[in-house]
């Protein structure tokens, strides 16, 4: 099913996915921050990774292990946060934002909108 422009009835309509893009960025940054924070406090899997590396490498390597854990935790947090943020943004796109843009007349509108924002 193709989306039709409510104003000019053109089917040259694209999705903007702004919420999805913003959500992915916010989720990635927030996820990385919480992942690192989790690794620092020992709550995240990144910390466990750091402790394991530290134990294997010995007491001298625990600082290095902690750093690796923080990086590892940050990466995991960024990946999961980015996915979560993108999903949240997708919901915002579908329900809140004018996610559709007509390539013929240039208006943006949301699905089911009977009152296009010109
Ligand atoms: Zn149009």
Task: Say yes or no to pLDDT of 55 above 80.
Answer: no
Whether residue 116 sits in one domain with residue 93: no
Task: Say yes or no to pLDDT of 104 above 50.
Answer: yes
Nearby residues of 37 by Cβ (< 8 Å), 6 or more positions away:
none
How many domains does the structure of the chain reveal?
2
| Interval between CA 9 and ligand 1 midpoint (Å) | 6
How do residues 3-33 score in pLDDT, each as one tens digit? Answer: 899 999 999 999 888 888 888 888 888 888 8
Whether residue 86 sits in one domain with residue 29: yes
| Interval between CA 22 and ligand 1 midpoint (Å) | 25
**pLDDT at position 90, please?**
85
Whether residue 92 sits in one domain with residue 49: yes
| Interval between CA 105 and ligand 1 midpoint (Å) | 4
| Interval between CA 93 and ligand 1 midpoint (Å) | 19
Q: What percent of the chain has pLDDT over 70?
A: 69
| Interval between CA 11 and ligand 1 midpoint (Å) | 8
Query: What residues make up the domain containing 29?
Result: 18-97
Whether residue 8 sits in one domain with residue 36: no
Distance CA 26, CA 60 (A): 36
Task: Say yes or no to pLDDT of 103 above 90.
Answer: yes
Whether residue 85 sits in one domain with residue 104: no
What average pLDDT does this structure show over 67-95?
Answer: 82
């Amino acid at each position: 099913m193709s989306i039709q422009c409510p104003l000019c009835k053109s089917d040259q309509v694209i999705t903007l996915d702004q919420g999805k893009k913003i959500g992915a960025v916010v989720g990635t940054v927030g996820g990385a921050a919480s992942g690192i924070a989790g690794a620092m406090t020992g709550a995240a899997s990144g910390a466990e990774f750091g402790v394991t590396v530290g134990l294997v490498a010995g007491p001298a390597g625990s600082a290095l292990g902690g750093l690796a854990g923080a990086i590892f935790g940050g990466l995991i947090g960024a990946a999961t946060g980015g996915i979560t943020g993108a999903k949240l943004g997708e919901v915002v796109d579908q329900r809140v934002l004018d996610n559709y843009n007509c390539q013929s007349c240039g208006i943006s509108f949301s699905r089911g909108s009977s009152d296009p924002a010109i």
